[in-house]
A and B are shown apart, each in its own frame.
Chain A
Amino acid sequence: VVIACPGPVTDLVESHDKRFLFVACACRVYRVSSQLLESRYEPSSRRWRDEFLSIFLAFAEEGVLSLLLVGSVLLTLSQRRSSWTLTLYGSSDYEVLRSVSLASGVVHNETGTRRRPPLTCVRSSAATPPPSASSSVSDGCLCLEPILFKRLFGIDAALAKSPVVLCGLPDGRLCFLPLRPPGSRLAVLHSLEQPVVFVGASGVTDNGRGHARCLVAVGEQGKVVLIQAEKGGAEGGADRTGFTEGCVPGPVACGCVDEKRLYYSTGSDLLVLDLPEESPERDGPSVEKSRVTHAALQSPSSLNVCRVLALAPPTREVELLGLSARGQLQRITLPVDRGDAGWPNAPSTPGGRGVRDLLSAIGDVCERAAALKAAVKSKNQILRRLNQVLNICFLLTADTNTGERDKPIGCRATASWSRLLEEDSLTLTCVLDNSSPYVLERGWTLSVAASPLSGPPAAGGQSPSAHFSFPFHGLHPGETLEVSLPLAAAGQSSLPVTASCSLSFSLAGLLGEEAAALPGLQPGCVSLPLNTLTVDWLHALRVTSPAHGKTPPQSGNTSDAIQAFLRSRRMGCGGAAEAGGERGRHAASVRVSAESLRDARALRASDADAPPDVGLSLLEWLLSEALGGVSAGRRRGDGNVVVAEGRRGEEEETTPTAVEVQVESSSVAAVCGLHHAVLTRIQVPEVTESGALSFSMVSRERLLQRIQQSRVSGAFGVGVSTGTVCQSLLSVYQELRENPLIVI
């Protein structure tokens, strides 16, 4: 019969007469008759479940984790909000006899599942008649040597011949509660400081008394505590209880003990630990003894059985029952002679059983070998990837040191308008170009931080910046990666915007998912700056994409977006500009000397078929140049809002000394932005040229002198009338108006 319990079962105990099974499950305890389990009755599942709930329910207990049956008393250990509660029920009528609580301490293993805290019962062997069997277990209770029992649990418990309940809590405390005399309290015996996994008794003497001389507790992280009675030395030290602590490697999943050995499973292996034998005279120098004990605890030997989740103590001399994670029930034959290597010996019994055992042992070894191989392979993989990462790191950092050469890995970008969700937005399309010989593998991330150069400060006082990161799955040499990021919706951005690109690599990505799940792991990250791009007004006003060449197809969509954008700028200027309308057109102009322009054009020698028209080529260059990696299309004056064009008037002269670029718009913001953009573009090539002084600078200095002169005379007021000062200043002003500053 298969019974579906209403929730995960936390614990299961059998009554002493084997007639009932107590099941702790989902805050309730059920009592199921064993006869029913053996019967062939096949109930329909749905009704069966309801019946199960109603018929077998013994009592409800919040947060019940463990059960223990001692005599006629059923004990439950449950976890309430902030305490552990041990409740005693009469096993016939489930009346609460007593309830003892202990404030819960810090639970060390927070990530782990709620494991069943070990709950065992201990008796003094003096209190029970020696059982006929040589086993130390009688009616579920461990029998302990009287002297150890008295030392640990007190005279009262010994005199009352009381069973003592031992429980190992997940917060590491090992507690005990004597059931008699009534009124005794729950007390802490020891603290392992890690969740207690197993509590048992070992060191059974073979002289037929059948009691254990040593209490063993094992913690989840491998701490083993042996509790023994120690005779004081000859020099009269008091007798005391010895707590020997040791540590074994590995997370302990489960354990069991027999007379001399502790078996425990780490999940990947089953290990045997020889418990230190108590010397018969018991009075050796305690220091040496503890050293011996400690050494013994250090060296467990492997049985080469993996994935064991639960163990039953040896029923016979050499056999152990184990339940594996795959649901296999295994009978593990223990090596009889501890002298030879820790390999499960096939028992000498004849026939197929030996072969079967051998086969199962081989299967186990194979399984282990496969697991190890997989681990090695994954580690190699990680190392290889790490190597790639380091190579790329060195490549990128070395470049910044040697100079401004083009990096083998770089970023280009194009700005364009696009319409998304009924809203136009300026989109920056970044292209990551991997021209290095290395592969950018999984784990790399391209991050772009877009921050406006000037803008209204955000609430925090910092300029608002947006960060975008694009993890990618591998970029082979020569490949490119194209990503798009929204810079701003129309009317929300403040141009120009600086976009800093960088490549980053997270170390956590190397370790895979299992490492990422660790709560304490700090995400380590390598970040390599690539280059910085600027998106300014000129990019924003681009109408066509460069791919379309010089004939601008008037895409209504794009120009609409630009119109909207410009309109929003005008709004930003306040009511005055709006009211001004057509009247208040603002203009700004930049003059560039033709010489420097020619030099600049000479730099761009590739543009061989450039038109001889200097002004046109300048305009074209301004609008299409790929400086800073952002390429923009050619743009003509569009409509009534912006006019920015080369003045042909200047060109008409046979030897043009300068080209004037005029920006004109009804919006101050647009004019300012465009002016700034044009200036920065012109300035950048100028920096690269030799700094030749312009003749116009000389005339400017002359003008400055004249202003200073008139100011000095005005200040002293010597013979000069204010009228003449005004005249002089006016002439200076006119001269300035006529000959605006030319950028060389």
Chain B
Amino acid sequence: MFTSGLLWLPYTKRGKVQTKIARRFSQNSDSRCNKMHQPLSLFHKWIQENNELVNKWKEQEGGDTLTRDQNQNHTCLVWHSSEFHKLCRKIQGIAPIADHTQLELTVVYNAGVCLIAQSQFLEAESLLTKATERILQMTGDGPFASDPPVFWKTALKSVGNTALNRCVMHLLCLQWAIWLATCKLQTIQELQNELLSVFETLSSGVWDEEGSAPRTKSSDIALPVMDQRRLIELLQICTFIAQGAERLSEGRSSEALSGLQSASSLPAPRTLISYTHLLSGSCLAHMSRPQMALQCYRMALETDSQCVCALYQSMLIYRQLGNTQAEIQALRLLHSTLMLPAAKEPSPAGVHLLPSSLLLQSQSLSSLLSVPSALSVLHSLALKCVLHERVAEGVEYYLDLLAALHSEDQHGVHAAGPPLPKLPELYLQAGAALLMARRPADCMALCDEVITTTLELLPGKVVLKEPEECEAETRALCEEVEDGVGMLLWVGAAYLLQGHCHTHLRDWKQAVTTYTRCFNLLVKVRFKKRGCQPQIPSADMMSMQGTDLCILQRLKGLSLAGRGISFTQTDQLREALRDLQLSIQAFPGAGLWCGEVLWRLGRKQEAVACWERTWSFTPHFSELSLAVYLQEPQSGPLLDSTELRRRIEELSPI
């Protein structure tokens, strides 16, 4: 990892040195021009013009890139682009001459780089093709195929081993960049051999050229706006990364892995190296080797500490492995990393023009690299904590989340990803967490807010439709109806939580009132089966969990049970028995209390039967999959099972 970092240093220095040399050259040529009092030849004039443009750009780029705003940079780029184009047109205005070709191709290269940097790929492509055709016509070759790979193959062949070879290769590099940026990996694959040879030639040969450069007359060399060697290295690793991502998304993990691993030793910026590690990790995860994948993610993080995606992916693996503590730890790290202000890494000169993000635009890669927003991470962290017995911590996270939602700070929102649940949902979850943490007053306040906001909007009558039917209808109408049901369920849940709070505070009377409100609200919902009239849903209509109907039944059961328990506490046993018996149909957990009431009423045999039935009952879905506010309250009066069993034993001898 460090080697790659070190490798980059000399490049930066070299860039500066080059700039200085170039500046001196241009000064020299200026002074000479003044002394001689005679105009330069057209050829030299063009070279001078090109070099001035390049130097201007480099000066700009080398300046305060961090403070410069994006807008200004862009206008500067547009200006340079048009200037290079003008120069290019001037040069191409005369018939191709062998002496000028090198200059012409360098100017075309510069113009092409500027166009690509502005994402004008089509224009750049036509520029490159036309320029190459022009040069090749000069060498006397016939018409060329319109198919790009064939065109470039013949172009390379016809140039052969002449001095032009290198220039054409540079143009091919730009074409390569265009293919990469427009995700034409198939074409790159077709030309794999040629591109590889180009890579080898250019990455090995530049040094020689540089060594011989001072020997030739300095002003005869047109400078490139972006170092070609840098470009080809960038292209090489970006191609590996894009190909890896593509293969991974197609399910060819092992193929992808080999390419990525070879790419990880290439000289490249840290960010790209960390991408190779990250993608290798994803490949390994796909090949069900979670531990090795974790290793890779770690390497990615070590290479580039900004690589949050690696953290996120490791979190997903921990979740998959069921390692909750590690998952929570990863979530916490991820959140704090996301909240850090993104440190602007000073990128080496010459890379501003074509940043790697421009070359890596494939859908599959961006989906692999996507990370949910900080708020979304905070929410999962809070929920995980609450569900896994770290309630106090979870409550803090929830409060942080709500505070963040209310603040005007919009930091860390830009990331795409799953949207946050609706606010009332978050409020209810936070309320449930607060209740678990024995802070009923806070919970009540949150629920109050949900109720006051939503109550006004509740429709008078709600019809809940079967999901299948719902899909058949128009989507908009369906959403509207769902919205009504959703709001009603939120208010119901808020009342339920408030009831729990009152129970927790042993304010039985208030609890009964609140549970009643909840229940009254819920019976407004009619269920509509296909072809039938809307009806009040009965307990036997249990449907898939997670649907509105399931939540509705659960709410009904819990509210009835809660009211029954409250009645029990105030010794209104008849009412308690009625409520609990009704509740059992929707929520079997109330069976114990039902037995208790029966016991107190002296119907001991029935009570025993009731208890036995409850114990033998296995819930057909896990409580964990339900929303946190729909779970059985743990704070109210509890019945001790051993005590009940003792009672049964006492009863049985008789």
Chain B residues lying within 8 Å of A160, measured Cβ to Cβ, are 405-406, 423
Q: Which of A59, A150, A232 contacts B460 (CB 8 A)?
A: A232
Q: How far is the CB of A346 from chain B (nearest CB, A)?
A: 46
Q: Which of B373, B454, B461 contacts A236 (CB 8 A)?
A: B461
Q: How far is the CB of B149 from chain A (nearest CB, A)?
A: 34
B413 within 8 A of A: yes
Chain A residues lying within 8 Å of B406, measured Cβ to Cβ, are 160-161, 180
Mark contacts of B380-414 with chain A using CB atoms, 8 A cut-off: 1 yes-contact digit, 0 otherwise. 00000000000000000000000011111111111
In the assembly, what is the distance between CA of A53 and CA of B107, in Å?
36
Q: Is the Cβ of A158 less than 8 Å from the Cβ of B408?
A: no
Q: Is the Cβ of A155 less than 8 Å from the Cβ of B405?
A: no
Chain A residues lying within 8 Å of B72, measured Cβ to Cβ, are 60
Mark contacts of A60-82 with chain B using CB atoms, 8 A cut-off: 1 yes-contact digit, 0 otherwise. 11100000000111000000000
A285 within 8 A of B: no
Give the residue name and chain of the B residue nearest to A94 (CB). Answer: B69
Chain A residues lying within 8 Å of B412, measured Cβ to Cβ, are 182
Chain B residues lying within 8 Å of A179, measured Cβ to Cβ, are 408, 410
User: For residues 228 through 274 of chain A, which have their beta carbon under 8 Å from a beta carbon of chain B?
Assistant: 232, 236, 238-239
Q: Is the Cβ of B449 less than 8 Å from the Cβ of A159?
A: yes
Chain A residues lying within 8 Å of B414, measured Cβ to Cβ, are 98
A146 within 8 A of B: yes
Give the residue name and chain of the A residue nearest to B462 (CB). Answer: A238
A432 within 8 A of B: no
In the assembly, what is the distance between CA of A666 and CA of B420, in Å?
100
Q: Is the Cβ of A155 less than 8 Å from the Cβ of B71?
A: no
A212 within 8 A of B: no
In the assembly, what is the distance between CA of A139 and CA of B484, in Å?
34
Q: Which of A88, A98, A150 contacts B453 (CB 8 A)?
A: A150
B456 within 8 A of A: yes
User: For residues 72 through 87 of chain B, which have their beta carbon under 8 Å from a beta carbon of chain A?
Assistant: 72
B422 within 8 A of A: yes
**Chain A interface category by residue count:** 20 to 34
B427 within 8 A of A: yes
B167 within 8 A of A: no
Chain A residues lying within 8 Å of B405, measured Cβ to Cβ, are 160, 180-182
Chain B residues lying within 8 Å of A238, measured Cβ to Cβ, are 459-460, 484
Q: How far is the CB of A73 from chain B (nearest CB, A)?
A: 6
Q: Is the Cβ of B408 less than 8 Å from the Cβ of A71?
A: yes
Q: Which of B71, B411, B422, B459 contacts A239 (CB 8 A)?
A: B459
Q: Which of B413, B454, B457, B461 contacts A183 (CB 8 A)?
A: B413
B112 within 8 A of A: no
Chain A residues lying within 8 Å of B408, measured Cβ to Cβ, are 71-73, 179-180
B487 within 8 A of A: yes
Chain B residues lying within 8 Å of A161, measured Cβ to Cβ, are 406
A595 within 8 A of B: no
B375 within 8 A of A: yes
Q: Is the Cβ of A147 less than 8 Å from the Cβ of B457?
A: yes
Q: Is the Cβ of A236 less than 8 Å from the Cβ of B71?
A: no
Q: Which of B410, B419, B427, B461 contacts A97 (CB 8 A)?
A: B410
Asked whether A182 and B71 contact (CB < 8 A) given A146-B456, A155-B424, A155-B457, the answer is no
Q: How far is the CB of B478 from chain A (nearest CB, A)?
A: 15
Q: Is the Cβ of B450 less than 8 Å from the Cβ of A182?
A: no
Q: How far is the CB of A633 from chain B (nearest CB, A)?
A: 57
In the assembly, what is the distance between CA of A62 and CA of B75, in Å?
11
Give the residue name and chain of the B residue nearest to A151 (CB). Answer: B457
In the assembly, what is the distance between CA of A574 and CA of B498, in Å?
113
User: For residues 145 through 169 of chain A, which have their beta carbon under 8 Å from a beta carbon of chain B?
Assistant: 146-147, 150-151, 155-156, 158-161
Mark contacts of B455-467 with chain A using CB atoms, 8 A cut-off: 1 yes-contact digit, 0 otherwise. 0110111000000
In the assembly, what is the distance between CA of A232 and CA of B458, in Å?
12
Q: Is the Cβ of A182 less than 8 Å from the Cβ of B456?
A: no
Mark contacts of A126-146 with chain B using CB atoms, 8 A cut-off: 1 yes-contact digit, 0 otherwise. 100000000000000000001
In the assembly, what is the distance between CA of A97 and CA of B408, in Å?
10
Q: Is the Cβ of B422 less than 8 Å from the Cβ of A156?
A: yes
Chain A residues lying within 8 Å of B454, measured Cβ to Cβ, are 155
Q: Is the Cβ of B420 less than 8 Å from the Cβ of A181?
A: yes
Give the residue name and chain of the A residue nearest to B450 (CB). Answer: A159
In the assembly, what is the distance between CA of A150 and CA of B423, in Å?
13
User: For residues 416 through 473 of chain B, which have their beta carbon under 8 Å from a beta carbon of chain A?
Assistant: 419-420, 422-424, 427, 449-450, 452-454, 456-457, 459-461
Chain A residues lying within 8 Å of B404, measured Cβ to Cβ, are 182
In the assembly, what is the distance between CA of A147 and CA of B456, in Å?
7
Q: Is the Cβ of B71 less than 8 Å from the Cβ of A159?
A: no
Q: How far is the CB of B7 from chain A (nearest CB, A)?
A: 34
Q: How far is the CB of B457 from chain A (nearest CB, A)?
A: 6
Asked whether A158 and B410 contact (CB < 8 A) given A181-B405, A232-B460, A238-B460, the answer is no
Q: Is the Cβ of A182 less than 8 Å from the Cβ of B69?
A: no
Chain A residues lying within 8 Å of B422, measured Cβ to Cβ, are 155-156
Chain A residues lying within 8 Å of B457, measured Cβ to Cβ, are 147, 150-151, 155, 239
Q: How far is the CB of A715 from chain B (nearest CB, A)?
A: 66
Q: How far is the CB of A191 from chain B (nearest CB, A)?
A: 16
In the assembly, what is the distance between CA of A158 and CA of B490, in Å?
15
Q: How far is the CB of A178 from chain B (nearest CB, A)?
A: 11
Chain B residues lying within 8 Å of A239, measured Cβ to Cβ, are 457, 459
Chain B residues lying within 8 Å of A155, measured Cβ to Cβ, are 422-424, 453-454, 457, 487
Q: How far is the CB of B160 from chain A (nearest CB, A)?
A: 45
Mark contacts of B471-497 with chain A using CB atoms, 8 A cut-off: 1 yes-contact digit, 0 otherwise. 000000000000010010000000000
Q: How far is the CB of B105 from chain A (nearest CB, A)?
A: 33
Chain B residues lying within 8 Å of A181, measured Cβ to Cβ, are 375, 405, 420, 423
Chain A residues lying within 8 Å of B484, measured Cβ to Cβ, are 238
In the assembly, what is the distance between CA of A126 and CA of B455, in Å?
14
User: For residues 209 through 241 of chain A, which have their beta carbon under 8 Å from a beta carbon of chain B?
Assistant: 232, 236, 238-239
Chain B residues lying within 8 Å of A151, measured Cβ to Cβ, are 457
Give the residue name and chain of the A residue nearest to B413 (CB). Answer: A182
Q: Is the Cβ of B375 less than 8 Å from the Cβ of A156?
A: no
Asked whether A150 and B410 contact (CB < 8 A) given A59-B69, A60-B72, A156-B422, the answer is no
Q: How far is the CB of A434 from chain B (nearest CB, A)?
A: 59
Give the residue name and chain of the A residue nearest to B486 (CB). Answer: A155
In the assembly, what is the distance between CA of A521 and CA of B412, in Å?
54
Q: Is the Cβ of A236 less than 8 Å from the Cβ of B460?
A: yes
Q: How far is the CB of B399 from chain A (nearest CB, A)?
A: 15
Q: Is the Cβ of B453 less than 8 Å from the Cβ of A159?
A: yes
Q: Is the Cβ of A183 less than 8 Å from the Cβ of B449?
A: no
Q: How far is the CB of B342 from chain A (nearest CB, A)?
A: 12
Given A156-B422, A182-B375, 15 other A-B residues pairs in contact with their CB atoms under 8 A = A61-B71, A71-B408, A98-B410, A98-B413, A146-B456, A150-B456, A151-B457, A156-B423, A160-B405, A160-B423, A181-B423, A182-B404, A182-B410, A182-B412, A183-B413
> B-contacting residues of A (Cβ < 8 Å)?
59-62, 71-73, 88, 97-98, 126, 146-147, 150-151, 155-156, 158-161, 179-183, 232, 236, 238-239
> A-contacting residues of B (Cβ < 8 Å)?
69, 71-72, 373, 375, 404-414, 419-420, 422-424, 427, 449-450, 452-454, 456-457, 459-461, 484, 487
Sampled A-B contacts (5; CB under 8 Å): A59-B69, A60-B71, A147-B457, A160-B405, A232-B460
The 5 closest A-B pairs by CB, nearest first: A182-B413, A97-B410, A159-B423, A181-B405, A156-B423
